[in-house]
Amino acid sequence: MIAPTADRIKIAQGFWTSLRSLNLQPQDVVRQAKLPLSVIHEPVVSTEQYYAIWQAYSDLIGEAAKGIVKLATAFETALYPPAALATFHARNYRDALNGMVRYKQMCPPENLSIQEVGELVSIELQWQHAEQPGPPVLLGITLAYLLELGRRGTGYPLKPISVEFVQSVGEVNVLEEFFGCSVRTGMKRNSLTFKSTDLERPFTSHNQELLEILTPVLESTLNEQQRQLSLSDKVKAILSRSMSGGPADIQAVASDLGISNRTLQRRLSDEGTSFKLLMAQTRHEQAVAYLSDPSLEIKEVAFLVGYEDQNSFYRAFRSWEGDTPANWRVAQERRRSALVTK
């Protein structure tokens, strides 16, 4: 089941303003995306339209990495949407990132999570409520924006320890100059990794009075959206976030939801499903999405959807699609090629 908000994605008006600062007219981007000009003034767009707009921007700007850096640095802080503006006025970088993780739930299809191990902290991006991964330029922009948020908030030239991307996002040397560290592609996740001490840097832009105004409104909006989701939607969202680290068990999911295992099982049964079925559906949906990216090897896809054993992934995929992952990928590519040549 797809969440009710999954196909309603907000585009901040500041995005269109930033395009103009790069000498790109919004109408040219929309035409390149083959969409009606009315989307420039629409408050929300579909996932398909959202991806088309970002791909059009990438096509028009030229090289993807340069497009990522240009837009990340061109976006004016004053034009941030309310959720992003609240994080900009956080107490420190850690609070800002935690806020982004929370409020990003209101803005699919990107999903963020924070993992802290020892003295290192990683912010990981995954695609939530989407049938396929977003364009590379969108992936790069999201991580570049998180770094730019920290740099602007702290007034300090923050540099991650490392940046990882699953797919290619353009010229690596351009990205390394912006991020100030090694940028690796073809990895198993999309992430920024910092020293934990960097996250404690205070924000010079901290504004407690403004936060006291913005936070209740944002929390109310987020809570209202979450109330509209079924329990099945919430379980699948949690599974999607955790999948690349190995499938979450029912106890971990129940704990995340603040309910007992028994209550979770009973309520899922009331919705006509089960934890085991939702796990299989989530893996299936993510497998199809990742296999659509030809840059990913099948063994990488198996890992990303929570299978340590590639043979187990093959057996599961055959039960879903009636074919092997390799054959399915070839058939999909032939279908896409046939559509292009029509």
What is the domain-level CATH number for residue 242? 1.10.10.60
The pLDDT assigned to 300 comes to 86
Residues with Cβ within 8 Å of 183's Cβ and at least 6 positions away in sequence, in order, are: 162, 163, 164, 165, 172, 175, 176
Each residue's pLDDT tens digit, 240-254: 777 765 667 898 888
Q: Residues 197, 106: one domain?
A: yes
The pLDDT assigned to 245 comes to 59
- Mean residue pLDDT of the chain comes to 84
Q: Report yes or no on 325 lying in a domain.
A: yes
Residue 112 clears pLDDT 50, i.e. is over it: yes
Q: State the chain's maximal CA–CA distance in angstroms.
A: 58
Q: Report yes or no on 169 lying in a domain.
A: yes
Each residue's pLDDT tens digit, 261-282: 999 999 899 889 999 999 888 8
C-alpha–C-alpha distance, residues 64 and 141, integer Å:
10
The pLDDT assigned to 258 comes to 83
Query: Which alpha helices (DSSP H) does 62-205 contain, by range?
Result: 64-74, 82-88, 93-103, 136-154, 172-179
When divided into structural domains, the chain yields a total of 2
Q: Residues 180, 247: one domain?
A: no
Q: Residues 156, 276: one domain?
A: no
Residue 130 clears pLDDT 60, i.e. is over it: no
Q: Residues 247, 330: one domain?
A: yes
- Burial (CB < 10 A; 0-12, 13-18, 19+), residue 303, is buried
- Residues spanned by the domain of 89: 68-209
The pLDDT assigned to 177 comes to 96
| CB contact at 8 A, 74 and 18 | yes
Q: What residue type is assigned to position 143 of the chain?
A: L
pTM of the model: 0.65
Q: Residues 185, 313: one domain?
A: no
Each residue's pLDDT tens digit, 6-51: 456 778 777 888 898 899 999 999 999 998 888 887 767 888 888 8
Residue 233 clears pLDDT 60, i.e. is over it: yes
Residue at token pair 């879903």:
320
Residue 144 clears pLDDT 70, i.e. is over it: yes
Q: Residues 90, 194: one domain?
A: yes
Residue 129 clears pLDDT 90, i.e. is over it: no
Residue 2 clears pLDDT 60, i.e. is over it: no
Q: Which residue has the higher pLDDT, 127 or 52?
A: 52
Q: What residue type is assigned to position 201 of the chain?
A: R
The pLDDT assigned to 342 comes to 47
Residue 162 clears pLDDT 80, i.e. is over it: yes
Last residue of a domain, one of 149, 178, 209: 209
The pLDDT assigned to 163 comes to 96
* Mean pLDDT, residues 113-124: 91
Closest among 215, 251, 9, 176 to 98, alpha carbons compared: 215
Residue 154 clears pLDDT 80, i.e. is over it: yes
Neighbours of 209 (CB within 10 A): 8
236 three-class SS: helix
The pLDDT assigned to 5 comes to 43
Each residue's pLDDT tens digit, 286-325: 888 778 777 778 988 888 888 888 899 999 999 999 999 9
Q: Residues 203, 317: one domain?
A: no
Each residue's pLDDT tens digit, 173-230: 999 999 999 999 988 889 999 999 999 999 998 888 877 877 776 666 656 665 666 7
Each residue's pLDDT tens digit, 59-109: 999 889 999 999 998 887 766 666 777 888 889 999 999 888 877 766 667
